[in-house]
């Protein structure tokens, strides 16, 4: 064990002696201690630890170059490690067992190394603009060559290991450049593949949101050039989002807002929390619940809605509103993201049913959709104009959703009803309307007959 301290001597650069010392330590059973020492020497003389999350070294049995060399994650060991002797073979065999040794031409193995690096909090070394573009193209090509079921688990980790060029707007609407991890960036309209306006059109210059540069539409490869992995699919795989990010409610607010029980990882959000909205409060009361579990919110979504509501240009506001509604369709149709359990807390969580997530309730009760007169109303106070609703409310009722927004979402009305906009009336609504009419226009009593 005392001999292992020799690895701490940075001046001891006799590589052959270091290789022998490492081999003796391994044969003596000290591999776990050795793994924490800078016991390896690279071709350029650096001393590094054999930690898979930090470093990967080229297997001399493979090709001398590989398609992902541009990433710089596979390092060459000193030539001494490739010598044909027992010491070198012992050390290299140990590195293989630790997944520290990789063939440069094994792209799948190199991609796993990059993903592992990102998950451990590491990052690819800084590079100039030309080198960075080449790295992204190499990653896109390599991932495109892999089966989808193998590449999908690697994407998020790779995304954490790289930085993209992005931009955001300040409070005055001026564009500012940013370097951003894919998991914190949004997809601009220029890179959207879906029909119609999407999230960037909805957000416009909302401060605080970071978008990847539109130039990636030119510098990245088409699907035909990258094994059917389009530039948009590649960026999404790395973590770039095309819709507002939903984030779990955390225990960072007022202690009265949240609650946990020992041994249960679920976090309860109180019925009377700071975001309390009437519909959520009523529904939890009705179901005997005092919390929702693992609720989700979205500060980016709320910021965009407030920015849309403040838009002065009416035509632009309607276009942005329609774009946001299109963007939210998938989220609102996802039971995992739009619905959460309700529970009563009594020594443990007792689930009583399911309700909309807090972000959905907030959208339902915030005045951001226009009625037929152009006034902002909460979605829950609006009605779709259809033949049935016209027969019930008349053609001039001001509570209809603005026709421009309705027309833009004519094939996606499910997103409107998910937000609480009323559609064709059901029996309870018909009965309620009849009661309203009877209150407004009491029935005239029938004349009585006089007898002679």
Distances (CA, A) of 117 to 70, 203, 224, 424: 16, 33, 29, 54
Which residues have a Cβ under 8 Å from the Cβ of 440 and sit 6 or more positions away?
Answer: none
Q: 184, 143, 158: which is closest to 238 by C-alpha? A: 158
Give just the sign of the alpha carbon dihedral 5, 8, 13, 18. positive
| Least confident segment among 104-113, 116-125, 193-202, 346-355 | 193-202
Under the banding of pLDDT at 50, 70 and 90, the label for residue 445 is: low
pLDDT tens digits for range 159-201: 999 999 999 999 999 999 999 999 999 999 999 887 789 999 9
Q: What mean pLDDT comes out for the span 1-16? A: 63
pLDDT tens digits for range 300-337: 999 999 999 999 999 999 999 999 999 999 999 988 89
**Tokens, residue 260:** 């946990």
Look at residue 401 and tell me whether its pLDDT is greater than 60: yes
Look at residue 451 and tell me whether its pLDDT is greater than 60: no
Look at residue 40 and tell me whether its pLDDT is greater than 80: yes
Q: For all residues of the chain together, what is the average pLDDT?
A: 90
**Tokens, residue 207:** 């401060």
pLDDT tens digits for range 132-156: 999 999 999 999 999 999 999 999 9
The owner of tokens 């619940």 is 289
Q: What is the pLDDT of residue 9?
A: 58
Q: 99, 94, 98, 101: which is closest to 29 by C-alpha? A: 94
Relative to beta strand 339-345, strand 296-297 is unpaired
| Least confident segment among 6-20, 189-203, 232-246, 430-444 | 430-444
Question: Rounded CA gap, 24 and 64, in Å?
Answer: 29
Under the banding of pLDDT at 50, 70 and 90, the label for residue 352 is: very high
Question: Rounded CA gap, 23 and 2, in Å?
Answer: 15
Answer whether 40's CB lies under 8 Å from 57's CB. yes
Q: Where are the domains of the chain?
A: 2-105, 129-238, 247-365, 370-439
Q: What is the pLDDT of residue 450?
A: 45
Q: What is the pLDDT of residue 322?
A: 96
**Tokens, residue 273:** 């929390």
Under the banding of pLDDT at 50, 70 and 90, the label for residue 54 is: confident
pLDDT tens digits for range 282-294: 999 999 999 999 9
pLDDT tens digits for range 225-278: 999 999 999 999 999 999 999 999 987 667 789 999 999 999 999 999 988 789
């Amino acid at each position: 064990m005392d001999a292992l301290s020799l690895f701490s001597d940075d001046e001891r650069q006799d590589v052959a002696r270091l290789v022998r010392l490492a081999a003796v330590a391994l044969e003596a059973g000290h591999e776990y201690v050795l793994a924490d020492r800078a016991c390896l020497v690279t071709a350029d003389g650096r001393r590094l630890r054999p930690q898979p999350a930090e470093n990967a070294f080229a297997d001399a049995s493979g090709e001398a170059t590989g398609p992902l060399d541009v990433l710089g994650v596979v390092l060459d060991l000193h030539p001494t490690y490739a010598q044909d002797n027992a010491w070198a073979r012992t050390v290299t065999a140990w590195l293989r067992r630790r997944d520290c040794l990789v063939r440069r031409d094994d792209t799948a193995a190199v991609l796993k190394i990059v993903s592992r690096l990102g998950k451990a909090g590491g990052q690819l070394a800084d590079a100039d603009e030309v080198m960075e573009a080449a790295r992204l193209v190499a990653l896109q090509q390599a991932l495109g060559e892999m089966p989808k079921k193998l590449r999908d688990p690697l994407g998020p980790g790779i995304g954490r290991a790289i930085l993209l060029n992005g931009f955001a707007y300040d409070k005055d609407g001026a564009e500012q450049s940013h370097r951003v991890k894919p998991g914190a960036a949004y997809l601009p309209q220029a890179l959207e593949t879906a029909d119609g306006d999407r999230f960037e059109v909805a957000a416009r210059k909302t401060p605080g949101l970071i978008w990847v540069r539109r130039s990636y539409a030119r510098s990245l490869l088409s699907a035909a050039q990258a094994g059917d992995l389009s530039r948009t699919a590649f960026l999404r795989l790395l973590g770039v989002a095309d819709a507002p990010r939903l984030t779990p409610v955390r225990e960072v607010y007022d202690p009265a807002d949240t609650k946990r029980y020992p041994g249960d990882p679920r976090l309860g959000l109180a019925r009377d929390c700071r975001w309390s909205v009437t519909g959520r409060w009523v529904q939890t009361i009705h179901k005997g619940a005092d919390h929702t579990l693992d609720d989700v919110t979205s500060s980016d979504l709320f910021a965009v809605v407030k920015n849309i509501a403040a838009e002065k240009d009416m035509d632009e506001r309607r276009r942005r509103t329609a774009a946001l509604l299109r963007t939210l369709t998938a989220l609102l149709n996802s039971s995992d993201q739009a619905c959460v359990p309700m529970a009563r807390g009594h020594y443990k969580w007792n689930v009583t049913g399911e309700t909309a997530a807090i972000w959905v309730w907030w959208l339902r009760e915030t005045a951001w959709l226009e009625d037929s007169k152009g006034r902002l109303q909460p979605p829950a106070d609006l009605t779709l104009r259809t033949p049935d609703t016209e027969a019930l409310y008349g053609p001039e009722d001001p509570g209809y959703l603005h026709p421009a927004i309705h027309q833009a979402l004519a094939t996606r009305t499910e997103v409107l009803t998910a937000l609480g906009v009323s559609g064709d009336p059901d029996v309870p609504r018909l009965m309620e309307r009849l009661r309203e009419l009877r209150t407004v226009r009491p029935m005239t009593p029938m004349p009585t007959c006089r007898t002679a």
